[in-house]
Amino acid sequence: MFAGHLGEVELAGSTLANSWATVTGFAFMTGLSGALETLCGQGFGAKMDKMLGIYLQASCIISFFFAIIISVLWSFTEPILVLLHQDPEISRAAAVYIKYLIPGFFAYGFLQNILRFLQTQSVVIPLVVFSVVPLGIHFGIVYSLVNKTSVGCRGAPMAASISIWISFLLLALYVLSPTNFRTHGPDSL
């Protein structure tokens, strides 16, 4: 973890923030997209291609609204963590870290929906490619932001947010390509 090279408080804050984000947000968003897996699986099996697109769009809208709610919760990270008897300095560092993770959280919700959408149709290669490419880019982004700019520890969550958005946008472009899927009409988006 690149943030660990900046100091003990930064490492503790980023670790606490990642744990808090996973428990209160990322795991929730992953579970929320699980319903899409069931619905798309049924639609794909019944050859109801248009329904897959409708389910994907509806789940993205739902994910967006839940991301707003969780982002509001995350904006109170510092007082909540202090209330839970965490060190105030580490809680402050965690709050700063999670603030820059919020933009990526929205993309994460959308990304989870697209992953389920593609998995239920047994489309795997794009998932691999559009996961590996952003991962490779992520190392350069995080190294540059943390070590080569003045943003310091904030660079790690910024890089994570950027990388998640890249992954989502690549997969979204793939899904929206008219040559790849017939699961959405031109007027349904």
Per-residue model confidence (pLDDT) at position 9: 87
- Ordered by start, the domain boundaries in the chain are 2-176
Per-residue model confidence (pLDDT) at position 6: 63
Please name which of 122, 144, 156 lies closest in space to residue 4, comparing C-alpha atoms. 156
Question: How many alpha carbons lie under 13 Å from residue 151 in its C-beta half-sphere?
Answer: 18
Would you say residue 185 has pLDDT above 50?
A: no
In the chain, the amino acid numbered 166 is I
Average pLDDT (111-132) is 90
How far is it, in rounded angstroms, from Cα 20 to Cα 3?
A: 16
Residue 167: how many other CB atoms lie within 10 Å: 26
Structural tokens at position 61: 């809208």
Averaged confidence pLDDT in the chain: 88
Residue-wise pLDDT for 126-135, tens only, equals 889 888 998 8
Band of residue 186 on the pLDDT scale cut at 50, 70, 90: very low
How far is it, in rounded angstroms, from Cα 156 to Cα 147?
A: 10
User: Are the beta carbons of 77 and 123 closer than 8 angstroms?
Assistant: no
Residue-wise pLDDT for 65-81, tens only, equals 999 999 999 999 999 99
**Taking CA 89 as the corner, what is the angle to CA 86 and CA 94, rounded to the nearest 5 degrees?**
75
pTM of the model: 0.87
